Every structure is written in structure tokens, then in C-alpha cells.
Chain A
Amino acid sequence: MPSVAPPPIVVDDVTKVFRLPRERISTLKERALHPFKRTGVEKFVALRNVSFAVRPGEFFGIVGRNGSGKSTLLKCIAGIYAVDKGAIYVNGKVSTFIELGVGFNPDLPARDNVVLNGTMLGLSPKEARRRFDRIIDFAELRDFVDLKLKNYSSGMLVRLAFSVMIQVDADILLIDEILAVGDAAFQQKCYEEFERLRRVGTTVLFVTHDMGAVQRFCDRALLLEHGRVVETGEPQQVANRYLELNFSPAARAAEQQSAEAAQDQEEERDVQSTSMEPDREQEAAAPVGETEAQARYGDGKAEIVRVWLEDEEGNELDYIPIGRRCVLAMRVAVREPLIDPLFGVNVHNDRGDHLFSASNLFTSPRLGRFEAGEEVVVRISFPAYLAPDRYHFTPAVAHQGGSWIDRRERMFSLPAAGTARTDGLVDLPYEVVCERLKEREVAR
């Protein structure tokens, strides 16, 4: 590939391990008293074989839950943490925004702080001084130039810090969740600045858990979970995946397991570092958690164990008989006491159209108290006025307020078969009446 600009950021198979001593020796005295004491070290794998590349001018999001490793990844790229394995390539002038106003000193006036903060962010002190006027005007703090920073309001501080930040012209910006501070007006300002950065073609790496911002700004995003890359792609797709992970206890448990399994492998691998194909196993381990993770939300106070379809006589069906009455049954195991839970189902066709929902909310919302350990079978009967297609059932148990107890996305699916009288989405019962009008009426 001749004369192709190198990608601004390439993260190649990066692993980062934090070694946390189980019992820390923090004084020389202890060390002198126990010179041969070896404290165990707990390894925490914060990033595991992370690889991705950011294209020039791209707005790239890194999302993940707290503790998923997203900030660690940013710090590795920024050169704050050393990586244990793999390599990071950065081409271009980088500026890192992990916190607004890094280096601010409350006892100094604005000018000194602009120089301090600007230097931290990559300007030379001279450049920072030259841009001081622009910065102070943008921050609308001209009248407070000589005031020590400790006398600034928090809003003024944020404004000053932000104004310095946008004066730092870097090719690559690494931004960590700084939008979390400040009020709505400030956030709006940030968003406007983001739009400007997009226009001028700055490459931005943006760590957040605000899915709205990801979908609004990012060209692509990457989802981290337990230090692994779960998904890289379109912001929408990554955001959906994030929401799934975030709201599903079963997914969390599964992820935890697969992460621990991978961690065990990791530790074994550390021992026998000659292992030739470590990644193969890990890739194999991942999908188990993912298929589980695909489809579950809720607090887990009850669990949908099984879903099936029966006819009116109670015989299990392996297809949906078009036009006939059938019964969707679900068995639910109650894990913790529940009061007036709601049971329901959503039905989608193969294309993803949401055809209908049914629950006891409108029929019998007060089911009373269910004790832990109880098992319940819920039956929802309905006439299968459906067009020939494959149908997906999403059963759910929810609290009265609407929050999920257990919702299993597309847990169960069956084809519909029979004689259809439609080519629409549904096959509603209909009658056709044809009435001939008398001539006199026609004339009128």
C-alpha cells in the first residue's frame, strides 16, 4: 500500500495487567523487619488482547460499563500507563482530556493557570500565552483575569478549562467522559465544539457511557466488557449491544464467567509463556457468553425457564396454526418474593415488525404475592391471525412499575403454517359483504 497515510491510532493486541499486592508493604521499616516476606500479587487483567484501528478524521467511541477497561485503554493510548503486551501506534499530535483543567492551581490567577493547563495539554508555554486573550474571551472571563482561581465559581472554572481545551490544536484528541461535568449549556457548547472538530477533520477518540452522544457523533464505536472487545462497528449496533449488556443480570453473570475463564487461561499462559495459539481458545470462549448475553434484561428476581406453544387441548405445537386459537405458555421460577408481577409476551415477525403484545396488565394486574421458590405457569391464549412467516416470542416478567424482572429477547420462535388469506403482516379475521345498490340510489 504505497503512500497511504498511516491510521492515526492503531491498537494492536494490547493487554494490560494491574498487579495489586494482596498485602502492601508501605514502609521501609516493615521491609527491613521482614526482608524476605513475599506478599502475593493479585493480577487484574484490565485489557485483554484489544485490537482496533481508528481511521483518519474519524470520531471513534469507546463504550463500556464502569470497570470495563475503557479509561485504562484511553490512558494506555495517551501514554499514561504502560502496556504489558502488544503495541500502540499513534501518528499525529495527541492531546488528552481526561479531566478538565488539569494542573489548575487555585492560588494562581487565570493567566498562570491557562499556561499551566495549556502546557499540560501539549501547548508550549509561549503558545499558551499567545492564545491567552482568545481563551479568556471565549470563556467570557475578561473581567476576572486577575482573580485567583479559588474565587471562581465552578461554572467559571469549567468555562475556562473548556476554552483552553479547544485552543489546543491537536491532530488526535483523546477525550474521557468530560462531558459529565457542567450544566446543559456547557454540554451544548461541547457538542458544538464536537461538530466543529468533525468539520475540520480532527480524529477523536471518545470514551463515554452516554449512548446518545455515541450515536450522535461517532462514526464508529467499540464496546469493551471485562477488558475485551465485544463489538466494533456502527454506533447504533454498539449502543444496542451496550444496552443489552447493561440491563441483563444473566448476561452479566455469563460475561463474568467467561471473563474469569479467560482470566484463568491468561494466568496459565503467563506460566507457560511459550503457548503458541492463545487467542484461539479465547475466541472460542467468547461466543458462549455472547449468545447468552444477546437477549436478557432484568433484575433476576424471577426467571423464565421455558416457553412453548400449545393448542387449546394442551398439546405442544411445533408450528403456529394460522387462524386457530393457540396458547403461549411460559414457566417461571420465582427467585425472590414478588408482589403483583406482570407476565407478558411480545411477538415479532421475521422482519422485526412488532405485531402485538399481551400481558396481564389489562386483564388481571393484581396476581398477589409469589414466594421465592414457587414455580408458575402462565398461559396466554390468542387466535393466531398471522401471515405465513417465522414468529419470535419475547416473554417477559416485570414489576408493576415497568422495570424488568426477566425479559428474554426472542427466546422462542416458530413458523406459522396453514391456509392464509392475506399477503399482509397479519391475517385478521374478516368477512366480505357485497351489497348491490338500487338504480335509484345510484342515480342520486
Chain B
Amino acid sequence: MSSATRDIKLSARRHPIYGTAIKGPSALGSNPRRLLHLTWTIAIAEFKLAFFGSVLGYLWQLMRPLLLFGVIYLVLSGKLSHKVHLSLNGPHYAPALLLGIVLFTFFTEATGGSVTCLVDRENLIRKVELPRLAVPLASVLTALLNLVLNLVPVLIFMLAEGVTPTIRWLELPLLVAALAAFALGLAMLLSVGYVWFRDVKPIWEVLLQAAFYASGIFFAVTSFGSRTVLGVRINFSHLLLFNPFAAVLQQARHALISPTYPSAMTALGGPLFAVPLGIIAASLGIGYLVFDRQAPYVAEQL
């Protein structure tokens, strides 16, 4: 090897006899099928663990969102006292609330669960050739599988409340995909961030807590309107809806529960609709760039 070839970028290396040089650890790996297989296998194993862990696995899985739902429903919807009454500005409070809680549970699982995923899977990352992206991807996928199960009681509530099925329900997969994309972008950032900075975990937990109260899960974000703060007129409804989760939830209620809930586009008033979409795209893009950059060194940093 002459020293001239030495500085050529490794991934571009080709040799007339030896073939192409291996590119080493990376986010995607060299075989997309392997990425899929690994993601799926890890996710399924994780998912099974939740259910094989106990006989009542599925019930336990439902417990968290249902309990939260019970508390909010009883306390905030005016069932106990009319003095406290938070409205969603639309019909079918119970399924609309449960939908918000279930979607937020997914978001929490997908992002919160992936903070530590690279560190938790240290034994895999250091022992086999593993496309690094499989790890956060599997975390999000596991959360997605849980979401599918959690949507069953939402559906039951909807039908029980007399929500009529419409063609608009087909929007759900798209909305879930948008939310999953946002979660994946964050998952990539958080998982790599945690490898370097261990306080990413508590910080993210606090942010999630804040997001729970700011996302219009048990109140209507559309009811805020504009207000002047320090001489600047700010539309708080819009501000809250810039959060992709709030926008997805708004749209989901519009599509699934009742058209009385304004769609995300209407609530944001047209062009501003691009903001939550842009944030999703940015989280995915930036998340991938950062993750891809760090992927080769993850095994050494653990």
C-alpha cells in the first residue's frame, strides 16, 4: 500500500483484487435486510417480554393509560365537581381523552425507552456486527406494537360512545406514522446523547412531563387564542400546536372522534401547518445525521 492511497476515505475504498473494503460500524449497516431482521427480532422479543412477564401481561400494559384516564376523567371533566371542568371543546370526552393518553403513552415509551437503549444493548453492540440504527428503531417499534394493543380499548370506548365509523379513520395509520417518525428522530438524538451525557435521561423525563401538560391531552389547545405578552401578540393556540404531538393529536381527534374538533390545519390557520411538519422532518433529519456521525464510535464509548 503506498501512502498515497492511505488518506482516501475508507468507505470509498475499492481494490482490483480484494474487492470493496468493509465500511465498519454504521447506522444502517451494509445489508438493509439485516437491519430489518434485527430491528424486528429485537422489537418482538421486547414486546413478548412485556406479555410473558406475567399472566396478566396485557392488562398490565393497559393499566397505566387506563388509570391515568380514570383519574383525569373523574377529576377534570366535571364528574366530581362542576367547579373543575376542563373541556376539549368537542363531543365524546371519554374516548377523545383516552386517545390522547394512549398516543402520549406511545410517545413516552418510544422516546423515553430509547434514551438508554444503546447503553442497555451494550452487549450486542460490542459483540456482533449490528447496524446501530436497529437499536433505537427497535425501541420505537416495540412502542408501536404496544400502541396497536392500546388502541383496542380506545376503539371500544368510541363505539360505546356512539362514534360512527367513517372513511376518515384511515388517517390513523398516517398520523401514527408521523408521530413515530417524530419519536424516531428524537430517539436517535437521545440514545446517542445518553452515551455521552448521562443526565439526558432525567432531563428528558422532565421535558416529557412538561409535554404531557402542554399537549392538550385533557384540555383544548384551540381555546387559548391570542394574548399580548410584553407588547408582542402571541397566539398561544398556535404555539402549542407547533408541537408535533399536539398537532397529531388534534388531527386524530378530528379524524377519529368527530369533525367538531377542528383539524390541525384549520386550528393552525393554513400555512402555519408546515411548522409541526417541519419539526418532524427536522427531528428525523438532524437525528439521523447526528446518529450516523456517532454510530461508528458507539461501541468504543460504551
Q: Which residues of A contact B (CB under 8 A)?
A: 1, 4, 6-7, 10, 12-13, 18, 25-29, 31, 51, 75-83, 85-91, 94, 96, 98-99, 102-103, 105, 107-108, 112, 115-116, 119-122, 124-125, 276-278
Cβ–Cβ contact A7 & B45, under 8 A? no
Q: How many A-B residue pairs have CB under 8 A?
A: 130
B68 at the interface (CB under 8 A from A): no
Q: How many angstroms from the CA of A356 to the CA of B21 in the assembled complex?
A: 54
Which of A26, A28, A277 has the most chain B CB within a 10 Å cutoff?
A28
Question: In the complex, what residue of chain B is closest to A126 when comparing beta carbons?
Answer: B37
Which of A18, A99, A119 has the most chain B CB within a 10 Å cutoff?
A119
Q: How many angstroms from the CA of A91 to the CA of B30 in the assembled complex?
A: 13
Q: How many angstroms from the CA of A47 to the CA of B33 in the assembled complex?
A: 31
Cβ–Cβ contact B300 & A89, under 8 A? no
B17 at the interface (CB under 8 A from A): yes
Q: Can you give 7 contacting A-B residue pairs, CB < 8 Å?
A: A4-B17, A79-B22, A79-B129, A80-B299, A87-B13, A103-B128, A277-B3
Cβ–Cβ contact A12 & B1, under 8 A? yes
What distance in Å separates the Cβ of A300 from its nearest Cβ neighbour in chain B? 35
B1-43, CB < 8 A from A: 1, 3, 6, 10, 13, 15, 17-25, 30, 33-34, 37-38, 40-42
Cβ–Cβ contact B197 & A27, under 8 A? yes
Cβ–Cβ contact B128 & A26, under 8 A? no
With contacts A28-B197, A108-B49 taken as known, whether A125 is within 8 angstroms of B22 at the C-beta atoms is: no
8 A-B pairs with the lowest CB-CB distances in the bound complex, closest first: A89-B18, A87-B21, A82-B24, A82-B296, A27-B199, A79-B129, A119-B41, A28-B197
Interface size class of B (residues with CB under 8 A): 35 or more
**CB-defined interface of B64-104 with A at 8 Å, one 1/0 digit per residue?**
00000000000000000000000000000000000000000
Question: In the complex, what residue of chain A is closest to B17 when comparing beta carbons?
Answer: A6
What distance in Å separates the Cβ of A309 from its nearest Cβ neighbour in chain B? 49
Question: In the complex, what residue of chain B is closest to A10 when comparing beta carbons?
Answer: B18
B48 at the interface (CB under 8 A from A): yes
Q: How many angstroms from the CA of A440 to the CA of B23 in the assembled complex?
A: 95
With contacts A80-B126, A99-B127, A107-B49 taken as known, whether A88 is within 8 angstroms of B21 at the C-beta atoms is: yes
CB-defined contacts of A25 to chain B, threshold 8 Å? 197
| Cross-chain contact of B124 among A27, A76, A102 (Cβ < 8 A) | A102
CB-defined contacts of B20 to chain A, threshold 8 Å? 89
